[in-house]
Chain A
């Protein structure tokens, strides 16, 4: 599997150096940074998990989640632990926010405890950037509102690369609730940077205005949108971010925008299916397809999540440490 990665072994055996000490968004990242992170993540994915180096022992990572999450939080936690870092999980959905403390006060209180890395998930677009502007530790955006979810896009890219061998030139259809999806935005930017052809399929009520200016082709007809696609990426309907007038019903959604055998048959014969989870079976995807291990990469995505996050946590701590050395 390793042969598909361009870089030599010596390169992937050391941490990646990034341009920024934060990972806030894919938009604005360099292609070489993404390539290096994926190479390094691939190295971690292949590593026997009992032989982890624990190089980050003594470092502290705070998982600060202002929004519910299971898979992303656990994935980050596992990644940090496999690198040897201490992890503290903080769920702030119901605590200080309700006491009236401002977001920045909460954040700077946490910052005062001198963590090395803050992993932030927040329901408001741009919130992690606010943390990065005012705090002095590295920030990873673990999903902010409708804006970006950069680690998801990286793990999706790793999943595709490991299955198909490359990203460049692939036809990738992102289908579903584009308007409310941070996963879609991060994937659009990343796949564009890596030279894939990106298409977006959504009902017109869930297709954000001027999306084509982000460099994608937009489709309201899923059959057209998935035609000859190499990857069909589905998104969850984010009912919590809707007003009730976006979509008439789940069964109508499934009829036109749910992935079933008939629609998938229009894609490339080797097409693979992806979904960032959690998925609504029978709404976004026919249940049988989700479980078809030949075509569905949904479980691989989850597995790759840990490897990708290891590569990012390591890179940010490495980058920050290097920056500090240079300042001295």
Chain B
């Protein structure tokens, strides 16, 4: 038996609303005590003990990133390892990778591939439709049995209303959510019918007019959200809107929630920290989908986070090679990396006094697990020792050159906070040298 003791650490558990300075003792893979006073009776026998002085540090449940794209050039294990260093102990991957996650055996394969206990857990969404055209329903039930946590077409909108109705109705039956990338593809000029010369590239408005880029009107988002809410009402499904970016869509979701419709949504850091002005130099690291919107939309996203309309912050990680980004804006790939900055950028909301730390952690741990009904260990006695330790006030800078994935839209940004350790089932999967310096004793 091995013991690890974390002395005087601020324990933050959004699931139970617990937030107190405590001493935490773990034995092997379990938490055996969280108490104000250190209770030496918990330690029995002549076993190795590791003690960390954790004054000023915080312990919280491991983070969960419910929106991760695994691109062609990435491999799942590397993504897991990088996630780990950034406090993420659970990721959910989107189905639009190659091959597509559109059948039960691939879902099963993903789970088997990622079984390594010391790495973050991997869950997957199943592709809602078998085909890119979005017309044929996938085997939702079989994929669900293999552990698919929800259904979505990832970065493509489920476009056909009848198909959406059927998907919702079927998903309701098997008790899984439908996750939608809400964008009217005809309106935004990205439907298959549109030629490359009229493909939507950024938010439509003054900036797109100045730059001569094709605009995607912000109503392209709310139009789909409104339609889907009607269908969610009709079918009773749990409907989840991914990466909301506009005031209008947030308003509509807020109203639907009040009405009692089963709807949740997430957003990503670019949508509450940046606006379309970032594009003025045609910087392709800001070319993401949905596009960066106006300052008013950005404020609306923050308000949505504050009042609980927005349930989750996800990284919307979609790493892209430099080659596909050093291109004219129109030809550049869509997407930006995010898994390495999710924690730091969410914390920015705390440092700007927009939300408190407990809420911030909740948005990236407890809330996504609740939305997707994925049971994750919580910081309680006799639970699995899966948690993170971080310093929320140390100065830090996001530098592309220090990151594994590119591009980050936040290169050079000064932030505060640092993940110091990630424990998965008692394994010190990641321990930063700074925490090692706080080691008091080791027998």
Contacts and interface: CB of A to CB of B under 8 A. Distances in A.
Interface in A245-292: none
Given A102-B326, A125-B328, A243-B189, A145 B212 contact: yes
Given A102-B323, A185-B210, A241-B198, A125 B330 contact: yes
B323 A243 contact: no
A102 B327 contact: yes
A236 interface: no
Nearest to A179: B209
A126 B204 CA distance: 17
B194 interface: yes
A144 B282 CA distance: 12
Given A125-B282, A210-B205, A130 B328 contact: yes
A69 to B, nearest CB: 17
A122 B195 contact: no
Given A104-B326, A122-B328, A124-B330, A209 B209 contact: yes
A243 B195 contact: yes
A269 to B, nearest CB: 33
A121 interface: no
A165 interface: no
Interface residues of A, number: 30
Nearest to A146: B212
A126 B210 contact: no
A129 interface: yes
A93 interface: no
B256 to A, nearest CB: 28
A147 B282 CA distance: 11
B213 interface: yes
Given A125-B213, A125-B282, A211-B209, A130 B327 contact: yes
Interface in A193-219: 208-211, 213-214
Interface in B191-234: 194-195, 197-198, 204-206, 208-215, 217
Contacts of A208: 208-209, 215
B329 interface: yes
Nearest to A144: B212
Nearest to B324: A102
Contacts of B208: 208-209
B281 interface: yes
A209 B212 contact: no
Nearest to B217: A209
Contacts of A130: 282, 326-328
A125 B201 CA distance: 11
A210 B211 contact: no
B331 interface: yes
The winner among B189, B209, B213, B329 for most chain A CB atoms within 10 A is: B209
Contacts of A122: 328
B329 A126 contact: yes
A126 B281 CA distance: 8
Interface in A91-113: 102-104
Contact of A125 (B205, B206, B211): B211
Interface of B: 189, 194-195, 197-198, 204-206, 208-215, 217, 281-282, 323, 326-331
Interface of A: 27, 102-104, 122-127, 129-130, 134, 144-148, 182, 185, 208-211, 213-214, 240-243
- List 10 A-B pairs, minimum CB-CB distance, nearest first: A146-B212, A147-B212, A124-B328, A126-B282, A210-B206, A127-B328, A125-B212, A208-B209, A124-B330, A213-B206
6 contacts: A103-B331, A104-B326, A124-B329, A125-B328, A126-B211, A210-B206
